[in-house]
Amino acid sequence: MPSLTELVRSHTDLDHQDIAWLQLLQADWQIVADLSFADLILWLPDRTGSGFWAGGQMRPTTGPTAYVDDIVGSFVATGRRPLLDAAYTQGRLVREGDPEWRDDVPVRVETIPVRRSGRVIAVVARNTNLLGVRTPSRLELSYLQTAADLTQMIANGFFPSTGQRSDHADSPRVGDGFLRVDAAGHVVYASPNALSVYRRLGLSGDLAGLSLADLTRELVPPRHRPDEETLSAVLGGRAHRDTEIGTDGGDGVSLIVRAIPLRPEGVHIGGLILVRDVTDLRRRDRELVTKDATIREIHHRVKNNLQTVAALLRLQARRMDSPSAKAALEEAVRRVGSIAIVHETLSQAVEENVDFDEIADRLGAMVTEVSALGGRVRVTRVGGFGVLPSESATAMAVVLTEVLQNAVEHGYEPPDDDADLAGDALIGEIVVTVRRDDRRLTLTVDDDGLGLPPGFDLDESTNLGLTIVRTLVESELGGKLELGPVPGGPGTRAAIDVPLE
């Protein structure tokens, strides 16, 4: 289905400001459709004058649809729909004519010119399924009267508004709670849902005749409502915007209030006010914030505990007389430390995902600094890991630590004490190359050291570090591990390929 912008650019002479105006209209036309109990179709004039293109479609949530199928992108030639032609050429609302029949359903069609800066740039057709029409109640009459005012504003170029737009994803709709106020901000009509919402705020009587702004000041404490200017403008129906208000306590009520001024002939006659009770949504938001904070605190405590374990292992290693036992404990310290780094990062993250590039750089520095070479091997990263989920990040951190540790310990020989090397002179470089696409992450670790021993076979190796790496790569990450010489040069390459979910 083509977009509005694509249709405008392909078939019309409308400019980018006209497109912006039509997009503003579409942002709010669900309200018009619901108040009208009718489908809305946006018709765009072809640049040749030969007809109109359907650029948008909106079905009502308050009544049956008049269009079962989507018609966006379809074309109607001039003369086929006289009401469209009349609204566009004469610049007026057109309601004449008998109902149309579609699939044995009578449909009343009205056409509304869309005016911007004195020009008619499009036409909105309002299509009402007459099988859904019944004797109107006071609620339906209020809906229809407000819809008539909004359509007159569209025809006169006063709607949509170019003012502040709502940024609430949970902005209220007509069915959530509907109020109409007069020019002074007094309630002319309130739907049963709107009355129920205000009853939750503490209202005991009716809303009719009351100043909505004054009533809200009485029911809502100052710290739970917007500034006075915003409160008066929104609840008085004079500003096209929304705001949020609430009451005290953990069980308090939270509302989103949205206002659309009504001025069908250019003079302010009142406003449409929509209200929605979002108490449950805000409670869940608070629970999620609390849960996130709890999870971060858990990661922080896990990191502290791991660092305590590492300190105990390090203390034990210092008391060991056996060189092999001491080396084993020091390797355990590094493994625990790599996991602690992941939990430290997660304790500072908002989500359960981590930017692994920072972790990789810290692991590279940690491995080289604590090695017997005293930092004379440099680790360089090419490419980025990006963001990884926490469960994958922990396994990847241990894998990267083990691979780097093997490269440092087995790839290079410590210089002799008499060697003519400055204390900080490099004796080697390890390059970590990362490639990532939407589906896989490929990691290669190349050193320029001594290379693998003759006859080395990964499947036959009993090295604990390699066993850990292979188990994590294949079992935890679902990937593959390869170990061999660096193509075209000295040293060893560890290649790891893992899928990304």
**Residue range 397-411, pLDDT digits in tens:** 888 888 888 888 788
Q: What is the DSSP letter of 386?
A: -
Higher pLDDT, 468 or 292: 468
Contacts of residue 94, defined as CB under 8 A and 6 or more positions apart, other chains included, come to: 83, 86, 87, 110, 111
What is the model's pLDDT at position 497? 92
State the average pLDDT over residues 461-488. Answer: 85
Specify which residues 262 forms β-bridges with.
270
42 contacts 26 by C-beta, under 8 angstroms? yes
Lowest mean pLDDT among 78-87, 157-166, 310-319, 402-411: 157-166
Least confident of 154-158, 303-307, 372-376, 472-476: 372-376
Least confident interval from 53-62, 212-221, 222-231: 222-231
471 vs 335, 395, 399, 475, CA distance in Å?
15, 10, 9, 6
Helix (H, G, I), strand (E, B) or coil at 379: strand
Q: Token pair for residue 64? A: 């049956």
Rounded-to-integer distance, Cα 140 and Cα 131, Å: 16
- 26-40, 242-256, 284-298: which range is least confident on average? 284-298
Report whether pLDDT(421) > 50: no
Residue 189 pLDDT grade (very low, low, confident, very high; cuts 50, 70, 90)? very high
What pLDDT score does 70 carry?
Answer: 92
What is the predicted pLDDT for the residue at 295?
65
Across the range 360-367, mean pLDDT stands at 83
Q: When comparing pLDDT for 166 and 476, which is higher? A: 476
Q: Which of 115-124, 128-137, 200-209, 379-388 has the lowest mean pLDDT?
A: 128-137
Mean predicted confidence (pLDDT) in 9-26? 94
Stretch 456-474: mean pLDDT, rounded? Answer: 82
pLDDT score of 330 more than 80: no
Read off the pLDDT of residues 282-307 as tens digits, 9 standing for 90 and up.
777 777 666 666 666 776 787 788 78
Higher pLDDT, 337 or 485: 485
| Alpha carbon 228 to its chain's center | 31
pLDDT digits (tens, 9 = 90+) for 86-130: 999 999 999 877 788 887 889 999 999 999 999 999 999 999 999
- Model pLDDT, residue 433: 93
The pair of three-digit structure tokens given for residue 199, joined into one six-digit string: 């009853």
Long-range contacts of the stretch 341-345 (C-beta < 8 A, 24+): 341/366, 341/397, 342/390, 342/393, 342/394, 342/397, 343/299, 343/300, 343/302, 343/303, 343/306, 344/299, 344/300, 344/303, 345/393
Instruction: Output the pLDDT for position 374.
Output: 60
Chain segment 382-399, per-residue pLDDT in tens: 999 988 887 788 888 888
pLDDT value for 372: 60
Q: What is the model's pLDDT at position 459?
A: 79
pLDDT value of position 208: 93
167, pLDDT greater than 60 = no
pLDDT of residue 14: 95
What's the confidence (pLDDT) of residue 420? 46
Q: What average pLDDT score do residues 192-218 get?
A: 92
Please give the mean pLDDT across all residues of the chain: 86
Percent of the chain past pLDDT 70, that is, above it, reads: 90
